[in-house]
Amino acid sequence: MSSSANDLREEVRRRYADSARAVREHGDGCGCGGGSCCVDDGEAPDMFGQALYDAEPRGELPERAVLASLGCGNPTAVAELREGETVLDLGSGGGIDLILAAKRIGATGVVYGLDMTDEMLALARRNVADAGVVNVHLLKGVIEEIPLPADSVDVVISNCVINLSVDKAKVLTEIARVLRRGGRIGISDVVAENELTPDERAERGSFAGCLAGALSRGEYEAGLGAAGFDQVSVEFTHGVADGMHGAIVRAVKMSEPEARGLPVIRPAASAGCC
């Protein structure tokens, strides 16, 4: 990994570690009053975080899990989770989606939460315990190298995290690797309109603020297709900046990309490109 990519990953790690500490010590996600690390100065806080969950699901959760919500949607709803499934949450943070997923899949299902930040993992363990769910397993690692075997997961969810990856191509191929054939993704993420260049995305906000590293809709669709997904859908839900949106990303794992005659994505040289 290049030094610039390492620097970006460390910037993200520090920001989310600070958020976990703020929730634990002050009851305020990110220490910024907006409930989300993805809110930079001048951005509307209700475009991110707990405001995007209905009051009813929020009532099922420990208060700290709600305060630690840093996402741009509700992936447990868009993934249409079913009883008995095995679910992986990429960048699981303070655990809000882990707890909701665990309740939806029931006692016969399993939820894995992957996060690279020790402080977030500690917060999630506490929140999961307070919620009384016992079918959640927390893993430390990065989403570019998922520490699970191939063909082991039914559903991958993620909430405003893939835009923060320093190698999005690797993330998409790793998701395909761990999903079983016919497995699906239900992801909330920040996505740019196709007309915006990477430089224009960077003008709208920082990398750690979930904007500079966002993929365009076309890049997302092409990346998922090349990684071996079909039935790809990228649906804008609400604006977060000029030409940039919270979005629901859905797809189903079908065949390997080579078998479908599609190009295979290679790891990008730059951090923000697929």
95 domain residue, yes or no: yes
What is the full DSSP assignment across 162-205? GGG-S-HHHHHHHHHHHEEEEEEEEEEEEEE-TT--HHHHHHTS
94 domain residue, yes or no: yes
Angle between helices 168-178 and 217-226 (to 10 degrees): 40
Number of domains present in the structure of the chain: 1
Would you put residue 33 in left (φ > 0), alpha (ψ -120 to 50) or beta?
A: left
Q: What is the pLDDT of residue 15?
A: 82
Rounded distance between C-alpha atoms, residue 236 and residue 186, angstroms: 14
115 domain residue, yes or no: yes
Q: What is the pLDDT of residue 8?
A: 76
pTM (2 d.p.) = 0.80
CATH of residue 189's domain is: 3.40.50.150
Q: What is the pLDDT of residue 257?
A: 47
52 domain residue, yes or no: yes
Question: CB count, 10 Å around CB of 173?
Answer: 20
181 domain residue, yes or no: yes
Side chain identity, residue 163: N
Can you give the residue range of the structural domain that contains 38? 3-260
266 domain residue, yes or no: no
Task: Answer whether 148's CB lies under 8 Å from 112's CB.
Answer: yes
Give the helix ranges, DSSP H, for the chain. Answer: 3-26, 55-58, 63-67, 75-78, 96-105, 118-131, 168-178, 198-203, 217-226
Measure the CA dihedral 203/160/225/7, to 10°.
60
- pLDDT digit string (tens) for the chain, length 274 residues: 655 778 877 877 788 778 777 876 655 544 333 344 455 544 444 444 455 455 445 556 655 555 545 556 778 878 899 999 999 999 998 898 999 999 999 999 999 999 999 999 999 999 999 999 999 999 999 999 999 999 999 999 999 899 999 899 999 999 999 999 999 999 999 999 999 999 999 999 887 788 889 999 999 999 999 999 999 999 999 899 999 999 999 999 986 544 455 444 443 333 444 4
Q: What is the pLDDT of residue 57?
A: 56
Rg, Å, the chain Cα set: 17
270 domain residue, yes or no: no
13 domain residue, yes or no: yes
Task: Answer whether 19's CB lies under 8 Å from 60's CB.
Answer: no
